[in-house]
Amino acid sequence: MTATRSEARIQTASLLILAVLAVGAALYWLRPVMIPFVLAVFVALGLAPLVELQMRWFRFPRWVAVLGTLGLSVLLFGGVGALVSASVGQLVGNAETYQAQAALLMERVETWLPLEALGVDAERVTGPLGSLPVDAVGSVLVGTGNALLDLLSQSLVVGIFVVYLLIGSAGREEERRGTRAEIEERIQRFLVTKAVISAATGVFVGVTLALLGIDLALVFGLMAFLLNFVPSVGSVIATLLPLPIVLMNPDVSALTAVLALAIPGVVQFAIGNVIEPKVMGESLDLHPVVILLSLIFWGMLWGIVGMLLATPITAVLKIVCEKFEYTRGVAQILAGRIESRSADPAREYRSS
């Protein structure tokens, strides 16, 4: 009997490993379709409360509420795109100034650091930067523009998916009861709360940098909004992103440079460690190691977009798993409570 159980466990583990590998290969192969679709699912879940609000308060038909919500979204993203384009144009106009300031900074570094005493040839360090042509900056910006165009083309596909998902949810209110309704409600609450907190973070960071006179302040605010979906690591990256622009701008004083890093850092720390845990509650009850592994896994599959979606996807999986009797153990593992798997899952499920 013991041997039979051991063989069954080995077979189950082997099948589970093969299934994970097969699903991972399928997700990687289908990423041109899956990335827009998954983005559309999250966007549709986030916009669904706004559609329901218009239908309840203004008595709009669903298709009118969907069109109104999409129109507001297009105006919002269009405004953000216009601001980002203006900021990039400002960067192009100041490219020569940034290059000259970068060369000056390297000369100061060469003066401050005893490179020759350490056996390092200073010319080999500062030479490539000093001979960097201005056209190289233009080529980098052209590549950035192409990336934005590719993102825009994907956003059109995401928009089409969102329209079908929002319209397709019509007439299913009667089906949204019990466990399914609770799962959808928790997912929507998590997405909306996370989006609002991230938007507040991005606005505060962008306004702060703009008041300090930092170039590309609105772009850095947008990046703070996006990177807030990546726990811990994202806030650090968002805080350090303005550093090159701050250092290469000759009009920025030392005090302004310190404030440009300190104020967003304090904001990120306060929101990430004080406000967000109290507001989010148990919606994001994930172990840090699980978050790190999810970032690595989804980053390998879908790149930067996968890293941005890693935490929401993992949180949604945990919300779904803890609502079913035979998957509550998986939810406990995602939360880092491995010892609780020894308890009776049916009794825990009934007690909840």
Rg of the chain over CA atoms, in angstroms?
25
Per DSSP, the chain holds a count of helices (H) and strands (E) of 15, 0
Apex 153 CA angle, 62 and 50, nearest 5: 25
pLDDT in tens, 162-206: 888 887 765 555 455 556 677 777 778 888 888 888 889 989 998
How much of the chain, in percent, has pLDDT values that exceed 70?
69
CB atoms within 10 A of CB 276: 19
- Say what the pLDDT of residue 29 is: 92
Asked if 208 and 267 touch (Cβ cutoff 8 Å), the reply is yes
- Say what the pLDDT of residue 139 is: 52
Which is nearest to 336 in space by CA: 324, 350, 348, 318? 318
Domain ranges of the chain: 31-167, 190-280, 285-352
Residue 266, pLDDT above cutoff 70: yes
- Say what the pLDDT of residue 124 is: 58
The mean pLDDT of the chain is: 75
pLDDT in tens, 86-133: 766 666 666 666 666 666 766 666 666 665 666 655 555 555 554 444
Q: Classify 131 as helix, strand or coil.
A: coil
What type of residue sits at position 151? L
How much of the chain, in percent, has pLDDT values that exceed 90?
3
Asked if 134 and 98 touch (Cβ cutoff 8 Å), the reply is no
pLDDT in tens, 295-346: 888 888 888 788 878 888 888 888 888 887 777 888 888 887 776 544 444 4
- Say what the pLDDT of residue 349 is: 41
pLDDT band at 208 (very low <50, low <70, confident <90, very high): very high
Cα 270 to Cα 235: distance, rounded to the nearest angstrom: 11
pLDDT band at 141 (very low <50, low <70, confident <90, very high): very low
pLDDT in tens, 60-80: 887 888 888 888 888 877 777
Q: Which residues of 177-209 are buried (b: 16+ CB within 10 A; e: fewer)?
A: eeeeeebeebbbebbbbbbebbeebbebbbebb
Higher-confidence residue: 56 or 142? 56
Give the list of residues 6+ apart from residue 277 with CB closer than 8 angstroms, or none: none
